[in-house]
Chain A
Amino acid sequence: MSNKYALKPDELKKEFEQKKPRLLKGEFAGKDWWDLPVEFRDGNWCFPAKPEVLDELHFANPRKWAATDKDWQLPAGWEKTIRDGMKDRLKRFRSFKVFMDSCVRCGACADKCHFFLGTGDPKNMPVLRAELVRSVYRNDFTGLAKILKDFSGSRTLTQDVIKEWHMYFHQCTECRRCSVFCPMGIDTAEITMMVRELLNLIGVNNNWILAPVANCNRTGNHLGIEPHTFEQNIMSMVDDIEDLTGVRVNPTFNRKGAEILFITPSGDVFGDPGVYTMMGYLLLFHHIGLDYTISTYASEGGNFGMFTSNEMMKKINAKMYHEAKRLGVKWILGGECGHMWRVVHQYMNTMNGPADFLKEPVSPITGTKFTNAKATKMVHIAEFTADLIKHGKLKLDPKRNDHLRTTFHDSCNVARGMGMFEEPRYVLNKVCNVFHEMPENTIREQTFCCGSGSGLNAEEFMDTRMRGGFPRASAVAHVREKHKVDSLVTICAIDRASLPALMRYWNPGVTVYGLHELVGNALIMDGEKKRTEDLRENPMAGFEEDDDDE
Chain B
Amino acid sequence: MKKVLKPLIAVIVLALIPWVGITYGKLDYLFAIVIPYAAAAILVLGMLFRLVDWIRRPVPFNIPTTCGQEQSLDWIKTNPLECPSNPFMAAMRVLSEVFLFRSLFRNTRAELYGGPKLVYGSYKWLWLGGLAFHWSMLIIVIRHARFFLDTLPLPIELLETADRFLDVTVPAFYITDAIALAAITFLVLRRLSDEKMRILSLSTDYFPLFLFGAIAVIGISMRYVTKVNVMPVKALAITLAHFGFDAPEPIGVLFYIHLFLVCVLLAYIPFSKLVHMGGIFLSPTRNLPNNSRAKRHKNPWNPDIKFRTYAEYEDEFREKMKKAGLPVEKQ
Contacts and interface: CB of A to CB of B under 8 A. Distances in A.
B72 A416 contact: no
B294 interface: yes
B168 interface: no
Interface residues of A, number: 127
A11 interface: no
A102 B326 contact: no
Contact of A150 (B62, B108, B116, B203): B203
Nearest to A377: B293
Contacts of B295: 375
A254 B63 contact: no
Given A103-B276, A131-B200, A185-B283, A390 B293 contact: no
Interface stretch (A47-55, A161-169, A314-322, A486-494): A314-322
Given A253-B326, A372-B72, A478 B117 contact: yes
A105 B201 contact: yes
A250 interface: no
A149 B87 CA distance: 41
A375 B296 CA distance: 6
A172 interface: no
A372 B71 contact: yes
B99 to A, nearest CB: 12
Contact of B280 (A185, A371, A420): A185
B130 A187 contact: no
A184 B277 CA distance: 9
A186 B294 contact: no
Contact of B326 (A19, A142, A227): A227
Contact of B70 (A128, A144, A419): A419
B103 A182 contact: yes
A442 interface: yes
A78 interface: no
B106 interface: yes
A19 B107 CA distance: 23
Contact of B6 (A30, A151, A346): A151
A250 to B, nearest CB: 13
B309 interface: yes
B26 interface: no
The A contact surface, by secondary structure, is helix
Interface stretch (A350-358, A397-405, A536-544): A350-358
B69 interface: yes
Interface stretch (B36-44, B157-165, B191-199, B223-231): B191-199
A117 interface: yes
B70 A228 contact: no
Contacts of B120: 439, 441-442
Contacts, number: 344
Contact of B284 (A95, A125, A127, A439): A95
Interface string B267-292: 00001010110111011111100111
A311 B299 CA distance: 12
Contacts of A318: 305, 307
B276 A21 contact: no
A122 B200 contact: yes
A156 interface: no
Contacts of B271: 142-144
A297 B310 contact: yes
Contacts of A94: 54-55, 57-59, 282, 284
A183 B280 contact: yes
A416 B67 contact: yes
A441 B97 CA distance: 20
A297 B314 CA distance: 8
Most chain B CB inside 10 Å of its own CB: which residue of A98, A390, A471: A98
Given A185-B283, A374-B294, A125 B196 contact: yes
Contacts of A478: 117
Given A218-B308, A326-B310, A474-B118, A376 B104 contact: no
A158 interface: no
Interface string A329-367: 000000000000000111101110110000000000000
Contacts of A92: 57-58, 60, 301
A108 interface: yes
18 contacts: A33-B200, A93-B60, A94-B58, A102-B283, A108-B107, A110-B200, A112-B108, A144-B271, A152-B204, A180-B65, A185-B280, A186-B283, A227-B324, A231-B326, A314-B305, A346-B62, A375-B295, A474-B117
Given A95-B63, A349-B292, A441-B108, 5 more contacts: A90-B57, A93-B60, A108-B103, A420-B72, A470-B118
- Nearest 5 pairs of A and B residues by beta carbon: A102-B279, A419-B70, A419-B66, A185-B283, A16-B116
